[in-house]
Amino acid sequence: MKKMMKVLLSVVVVLGLFASVKPAEAQKTLADIQEAGELVVGTSADFPPFEWVVLDGGEAQVVGIDADLAQLIADEIGVELVIEDTSFDGLIPSVSSGRVDMVLAGMTYSEERAGQVDFSEVYYETNSKFVVPVGEEGNFESIEDFANLKIGVQKGTIQESLLNDVLPDAELVSMNKNGDLIEALKSKRVDAVLMDGIVVGEFVNLNSDAIVLLDDIQVEEENEGFAAVTAKGNTDLMEAINKVIADVTESGQMEEIVTKNTELNAEQTEE
């Protein structure tokens, strides 16, 4: 197994009124982060190959594309990296309240989110794909075939918003964890799952005897790309983030990071 970047994993319990726990003035500027000596990055580590948890010597570690990018950002500003793992729908309250300094979690832009946080430049272009049980793929030729069915999505994601718009007659089943969605699909508690294309591909590789990817059915998205997130107005930190994104994109390093973590996840699922 390739050497894995180690980061500190801290599990956060998110409460319903989480955003009110810390006032906005608790948010840290870039200077505050540098003085503290650590960059606290929020993620939801059930999204391979972007972020997932492994045990290394009995210690839980977050690894993945976003973890590698977070490390490069921490290196750029000269501090240690701390990763906090929480549910996806708790990430925006987490960064808005100052519990974390930024979010890297395969998050896409939306107007609703942009009213609460600031988005970086896109670091990875993406799209959404359906997955269904093996043997059911012949029932689906277009997105209209999913009307009135139970569709699983991760709570708080762009896929949840998309389906509300394009399939208003479908019954959405929202869950916190992608792994739980796949298990619900395998047990036929949902008829299909909509997830990011590269991520659902990893789950299909792991469960190829039970689920199949519908690669030809497209879901139109206005903002097909992942971006980092900071609190509103954290300009200096956002400039540092965008510099790293530009550097890794122009140099081709981002492609290397994606390839490395896709292969790493594939190796682990085969073990």
Q: Are 60 and 103 in contact (CB under 8 A)?
A: no
103 membership: H or E segment, kind and range:
strand 102-108
> Is pTM, for the whole model, over 0.75?
no
Comparing 1-15, 39-53, 133-147, the range with the smallest average pLDDT is 1-15
Q: What is the pLDDT of residues 201-241, one digit of tens each?
A: 888 988 999 999 999 997 876 666 899 999 999 999 999 99
Cis before 49? omega within 30: yes
From first CA to last CA, the distance across the chain in angstroms is 10
Domains of the chain: 8-125+224-270 (3.40.190.10), 128-214 (3.40.190.10)
What does the alpha-carbon distance between residue 117 and residue 234 come to, in Å, rounded to a whole number?
9
Residue 204, token pair as written in the block? 């299909």
Q: List the one residue out of 259, 252, 241 whose CA is nearest residue 72.
A: 241
| Axis crossing angle, helix 235-251 with helix 65-77, rounded to the nearest 10 | 120
Comparing 42-46, 92-96, 185-189, 203-207, the range with the smallest average pLDDT is 203-207
Comparing 10-14, 22-26, 141-145, 159-163, the range with the smallest average pLDDT is 10-14
Evaluate if residue 4 carries a pLDDT over 60: no
Residue 234, token pair as written in the block? 């954290």
Q: What is the pLDDT of residues 140-181, one digit of tens each?
A: 999 999 999 999 999 988 888 888 888 999 999 999 888 999
